[in-house]
A and B are shown apart, each in its own frame.
Chain A
Amino acid sequence: MTLTETRRQAPPAVVARALTKIYGQGDARVHALRGVDVAFATGAFTAIMGPSGSGKSTLMHCLAGLDTATSGTVHVGDVELTGLSDKRLTLLRRERIGFVFQAFNLLPTLTAEQNIRLPLEIAARQADQVLFDRVIETVGLADRLGHRPAELSGGQQQRVAVARALISKPQVIFADEPTGNLDSRSGAEVLSFLRASVRELGQTIVMVTHDPVAAAYADRVVFLRDGELVSDLAAPTPQSVLDTLMRLEG
């Protein structure tokens, strides 16, 4: 059995059932999510796409335990997020979830290495030195470890952020527009690196993006519109993603 096949048979890393999220009250009510059912396979790279206001960021925030859904359930692994206290949610994020944000991923007072090790230190866990070296080598940051974020380029900062997400071997990494602030070349680097970490390290990644090229790096793309899951595309190419988007908007 190949690695890929093993993963296919493993239970999904994240599952959402009938997920709804309503902001505001009365006339100002906004249905950000209207009953989303979705599962994200372990060891896969999944992209969430959709036009602005489609609810893709809200979905990610709910899946990651950063925000609480109005109704429905979210499971990360075997843990149900619904109804967890803030403290339990924090501990769950600490142990099982990694993040890469669009901007402002790093603490300006810490060096790159300190930033990478930060999640482990918060959780008071020992770093796996082999993994650390491998991650550093893969992201190509070996000579930049002592620098502070202000001394790194945007692409380097995002690579540090990805390395930080990988180091604690989370069950899932959520990446929110990780290339949104980067030029296309740096963006391509970060995306290849994300894909490599899925292929080589067996990492599960869920990425929110509005860029068809970025989405094409994923194994699968799910499409949202007006808070509903409207399409699901396997083995995407930039062209097939663009076509799907056109169809959805048209």
Chain B
Amino acid sequence: MLRTTLAGLRAYRLRLLLTSLAITLGVGFIAGTFVLTDTVRAGFSQRVTAEADKVGVAVLPKGERSSLPVRLLERVRAVPGVLDAQGLVRGKAPLLGKDGRAVGDLATTAISIVPGPLDRATIVSGTGPGSDDRTAVLDKNTARTHGFRVGDTITVLDSGRREHRFRLVGLLDPGVDQELAYTGALGFTTATAQRMTGEKGFHEIDVAGADPARLKQAVAAVAGPGVEVLTGEELAADLASRAGVQMEALTVALLMFGLVAMLVAALVIYNTFNILVAQRTRELALLRCIGATRGQVFGSILIESVVVGLVSAVLGLLAGYGLGAVTLRVLTALEAPLPTDAPVTLSAPAIVAGLTIGLLVTVGAALLPARTATHVAPIAALRTQAEQRTFRAGLLRVLSAALFLLAGLGTAAVGALVMPPGQQVSLVVVMGGGVLTFLGVLIIGPVLVKPLSALVGWIPRKLFGVPGRLAVDNAGRNPRRAATTTVALTIGVTLMTLISVVTASTRVTVADKLDEQFPIDYLLVTQERDASIPRSVGESLRGRPELTSVVQIRDTRAGVGGHRVEVGTFSGPISPDVTAGAMGDLGPGQVAIAAPTAQRLGVRAGDTVAVRTKAAGTVSLEVVALFGGESPLPALTVAEPEFDRYFGAVPDSRVLINAADGVPADRARGVVDAAVAGHPTIKVSSSTEVRGQFDETLDMMLLIITGLLGLAILISLLGIANTLSLSVHERTRESALLRALGLTGAQLRRMLSVEALVLGLIGALVGVALGGVFGWAAIRAMLDGAVFSAPLGQIALFVALSGLAGVLAAVLPARRAARASIVESLTTG
């Protein structure tokens, strides 16, 4: 029996090729994900280990404490066995770009680069600062984006906002330190770093010495409580696991797409095996006639699927290795802030996962077809012509589909309409409804195929004459097969439509909210939250005729009960969206609170809150109003004179500016820019810029997700090609008959193309409908006050591309059909 199965596999290898390709692609993606993340992780740990190897023991602040006192360094140096100890300084020091303004949204982080064996910095070009206090090094990415080269003079602000100039002597690789990679990094001598950042203590003390374990005990003894002492190895593990958490999130996200691809592949496999079993009815019946048991028939189909699964999973692993290697190359070329230089490896877990998933999906998908095969009666061997399979919509099918659809749509409606929006649980409920609905569609699919193909095929029927009409009939000829084929495509199109509806709606909703609650043209903020805008800036703008309103907002943090909250005030015209009470003019002893903060503090309008102030002790304030959380006002807003009394002179944290009507944007902007000219760390952002950045982020996300879903779509197209080529094979004699009756080769090709077009369009239309509905539900569940927006252009594009892709999938099968010899097909088919 095994020999028969293997012989069968050899005979059908071409037909199984496309099937294996589906699994190969899915497994390839999953394996590629592992290769990518494993390699990056290996890169991280290599670097971390290389860095930590230099360190015998590291002393770190623990808990509340954010730095280590300077005198601790002296105590550590005095510990017997310590060869060297260095304190590492880390703090903010804004680098000024060539335009004289601070670079980036956050201030550059300055670090000390220590001399001797404890130097952990990776200098990629030039040298370190050595002991020269007039030199600095800069991380390579910041240097590249802002056009600095070794030998240039750079200007950096110290903690008192004074400018200092340094000669750039080298470029630094921030390595695995995500903070440095994000803010940009400047490296100085320890003394300079202390001077520039104004940091009083150390961020870390590194100790060199033999026997880390004993050293750790000795250092811990002098360090006292509130610090953590780690050996170099422990430090490496700590750093690596922090990097590992990020990689884990990336792995999980990528694997989600891999699983979608595998789901689609499973449908393709299921369909292929079903068709193969149907086509081999006589062969299977013959086996039964000559004594094969049902179990043997079942086993032979299963063995076939095992072989297909294994072969394609192995190919998938190879493909994944290549995919991972190529992606790493691309990331290296793009200079992504990830270590991509570790040797590319296919780890054992990746191999096991790839093989297991590939095998399970293939065999799992072949189970039902194998069971069908056991139902072939021996007598079928004697029938001359395979009987036409008719499909009737059974009552059970319709009922269960209706049940799933009702439950799914109902659940989604509850999630979207009844549950509170903006909470994860609502979204989960909507997605649960989506899965149920999808199952319903899967069940009802075969019933829908006929009417849908009539609908979709209306134009091709008119347009392509006899081939068109035959094609539309053929598309609906085997409803089960057509349904499975198209559902594979539906999955991809549904997800794509859903994502594009969600992004479009998010865009519109956020734009609306920005307009409504944040109607400002320019916003002034500083790089650091605690640093601030001198009041004079806002005051100088206030009188300008080009501007209509200037709102200055000041805030600070204060204790309220057990919480630390933002307490502040404002001057200028602003009217927040009051949800309870009345704000009017805040008087002494009154406070307005942002609704989310009020909820957190557990207070309502009319209650009183006790605020610990800096200058006036603990004051008791009456809550007179609650306002919406999107308002730019501080969470606890008090009247201006009261704020001054409570907290003394506090500079502005934000300034909101509106240009006067009719003033050209560049003139208004000029006025604002002039006002901040002397303050390089103040950032001016305009609402159009904010919106533009937001749009860019959304577009990028859409692009990436669409790209990743592309794999699922590709696999489903393989499914269409596969179904079609198996159908072509099945209809060899039919095609030959048509050719004999005078259908030209071109007409036969067109017929198959139209059939594929119809299948593609059905899949796409169902997907668009599902994606639209669930996109709406998802956005309702995700955002409060969501505005629905369907990007019709994009959706039409999805439909058109699906149709086109279907036609492309038909190219090869159609060519084979048109080229087949009529005489041979008539006699042997």
Contacts and interface: CB of A to CB of B under 8 A. Distances in A.
Nearest to A109: B473
Interface stretch (A120-128, A185-193, A214-222, A239-247): A120-128
B740 A99 contact: yes
Given A66-B822, A90-B739, A104-B733, A124 B744 contact: no
Interface string A128-150: 00000000000000000000101
- The bracket for how many chain A residues form the interface is 20 to 34
B465 interface: yes
Contact of A91 (B744, B821, B827): B744
Contacts of A61: 823
A237 B631 CA distance: 106
Contacts of B823: 61, 66-67
Nearest to B742: A94
Contact of A122 (B388, B466, B474): B466
16 contacts: A61-B823, A66-B740, A66-B823, A66-B826, A67-B823, A90-B745, A101-B737, A101-B826, A104-B737, A104-B826, A107-B470, A110-B473, A122-B738, A122-B741, A122-B747, A150-B388
A110 B474 CA distance: 10
Contacts of A105: 737
B246 interface: no
Interface residues of B, number: 29
B11 to A, nearest CB: 22
Given A66-B823, A110-B470, A123-B742, 5 more contacts: A86-B744, A90-B742, A104-B385, A105-B737, A107-B738
A109 B470 contact: yes
B384 A181 contact: yes
A124 B747 CA distance: 13
Interface string A100-118: 0101110111100000001
Interface of B is mostly: helix
Contact of A107 (B737, B745, B746): B737
A211 interface: no
A16 B474 CA distance: 39
B279 to A, nearest CB: 15
Interface string A22-65: 00000000000000000000000000000000000100010010
Contacts of A101: 737, 740, 826
B477 interface: yes
B560 interface: no
B743 interface: yes
Interface string B451-487: 0000000000000011000100110010000000000
A232 interface: no
Interface string A64-87: 101100000000000000000011
B744 A87 contact: yes
B742 A119 contact: yes
Contacts of B737: 101, 104-105, 107
Contacts of A226: none
Interface in B32-59: none
A239 B494 CA distance: 72
Contacts of A121: 465-466
B742 A109 contact: no
A93 interface: yes
A169 B260 CA distance: 56
Contacts of B387: 150
Interface string B128-158: 0000000000000000000000000000000
Contacts, number: 74
Interface in B698-746: 733-734, 737-746
B741 A119 contact: yes
B334 to A, nearest CB: 52
Nearest to A151: B388
A122 B466 CA distance: 6
A123 B737 CA distance: 15
B744 A118 contact: no
Interface string B541-561: 000000000000000000000
Given A109-B470, A150-B387, A104 B734 contact: yes
Contact of A118 (B466, B821, B829): B466
A57 B822 CA distance: 13
Contact of B742 (A95, A103, A148, A181): A95
B741 A118 contact: yes
B821 to A, nearest CB: 8
Contact of A93 (B385, B388, B466, B740): B740
A103 to B, nearest CB: 7
Nearest to A121: B466
Given A66-B740, A150-B388, A181-B384, A108 B734 contact: yes
A91 B746 CA distance: 12
A105 B741 CA distance: 10
A81 B143 CA distance: 78
Top 3 A-B pairs ranked by shortest CB distance?
A: A94-B742, A109-B473, A150-B388
A87 B465 contact: no
A103 B477 CA distance: 21
Contacts of B827: 57
A91 B741 CA distance: 9
Interface in B380-432: 384-385, 387-388
A121 B461 CA distance: 13
Contacts of B734: 104, 107-108
Interface string B791-829: 000000000000000000000000000000111001101
Contacts of A181: 384
Contacts of A94: 741-742
Contacts of A93: 740-742
A181 B383 CA distance: 12
B465 A124 contact: yes
A95 to B, nearest CB: 7
A64 B734 CA distance: 18
B739 A109 contact: no
Contacts of A109: 470, 473-474, 477
Contacts of B733: 104
